[in-house]
Amino acid sequence: MIEEFPCEACGGRIWCPFQRFRYLRSDHEHPPAGRLTLAMSSLAAAARRTLSGGPPARPLRRRILNSYQIARRQVLFDVWFPGRDEIVLCAVYCATCEFTTYLPRPEPHDVAAKYHFLKRIEPDIGGETGHDRRARASDADRADRVFARAMAHVRPGGRLRVLDHGGGNGKLMRPFIAAGHECCLVDYNDTPIPSVKKLGEHIDDVAQDDRFDVIVCSHVLEHISDVEALSLALVSRLCAGGVMYVEVPLEIWAGIWIDAEPVTHINFFTIASLWHLFERIGVTILATACGESSYGRRRAQAVWLVATSGVASAITSRPRAIERLIFPGRVASVRRVLSRWWDG
Give residue 68's pLDDT band: very low, low, confident or very high (50, 70, 90). Answer: very high
Give the whole-number percent of the chain exceeding pLDDT 90: 63
Task: Please give the average per-residue pLDDT across 61-74, as a whole number.
Answer: 93
Q: Report pLDDT for 340.
A: 58
Q: What is the pLDDT of residues 86-97, one digit of tens each?
A: 999 999 999 999
pLDDT at residue 344 tops 50 = no
Q: Report pLDDT for 281.
A: 87
Strands 86-94 and 15-24: antiparallel
Least confident residue range of 9-13, 46-50, 73-77: 46-50
Q: Which residues pair with 93 in a beta bridge?
A: 16, 100
Q: Report pLDDT for 170.
A: 93
For residues 341 and 183, which has the higher predicted lDDT (pLDDT)?
Answer: 183
Q: Report pLDDT for 320.
A: 65
Least confident residue range of 55-64, 101-110, 159-168: 55-64
Q: Report pLDDT for 139.
A: 87
Q: Report pLDDT for 48.
A: 78
For residues 183 and 333, which has the higher predicted lDDT (pLDDT)?
Answer: 183
Q: Report pLDDT for 316.
A: 56
For residues 332 and 195, which has the higher predicted lDDT (pLDDT)?
Answer: 195
pLDDT at residue 223 tops 90 = yes
Give residue 289's pLDDT band: very low, low, confident or very high (50, 70, 90). Answer: confident
pLDDT at residue 4 tops 50 = yes
* Cut 0.75: pTM above it: yes
Q: What is the pLDDT of residues 31-64, one digit of tens each?
A: 888 888 888 888 888 787 777 888 888 899 999 9
Question: Mean pLDDT across the chain, nearest whole number?
Answer: 89
Are 266 and 106 a contacting pair, CB within 8 Å? yes
Least confident residue range of 39-53, 71-85, 130-144, 312-326: 312-326
pLDDT at residue 185 tops 50 = yes
Q: What is the pLDDT of residues 23-37, one digit of tens each?
A: 999 999 888 888 888
For residues 146 and 133, which has the higher predicted lDDT (pLDDT)?
Answer: 146
CA angle 286, 10, 288 (to 5 degrees): 20
Q: Order of strands across the sheet with 15-24?
A: 15-24, 86-94, 100-103
Residue 314 belongs to domain with CATH number = 3.40.50.150
Q: What's the domain range around 36?
A: 1-344
Q: Report pLDDT for 2.
A: 95
* Alpha helix stretches (DSSP H) within the chain: 35-52, 67-74, 108-121, 133-151, 174-178, 227-235, 271-280, 322-326, 330-343
Does residue 104 have a cis peptide bond before it, meaning omega lies within 30 degrees of 0? yes
- In angstroms, the CA 157 to CA 257 distance is 44
- In angstroms, the CA 299 to CA 98 distance is 23
Number of domains in the chain: 1
Q: What is the pLDDT of residues 231-276, one digit of tens each?
A: 999 999 999 989 999 999 999 988 999 999 999 999 999 988 999 8
Are 276 and 231 a contacting pair, CB within 8 Å? no
Q: No. of H helices and E strands in the chain? A: 9, 10
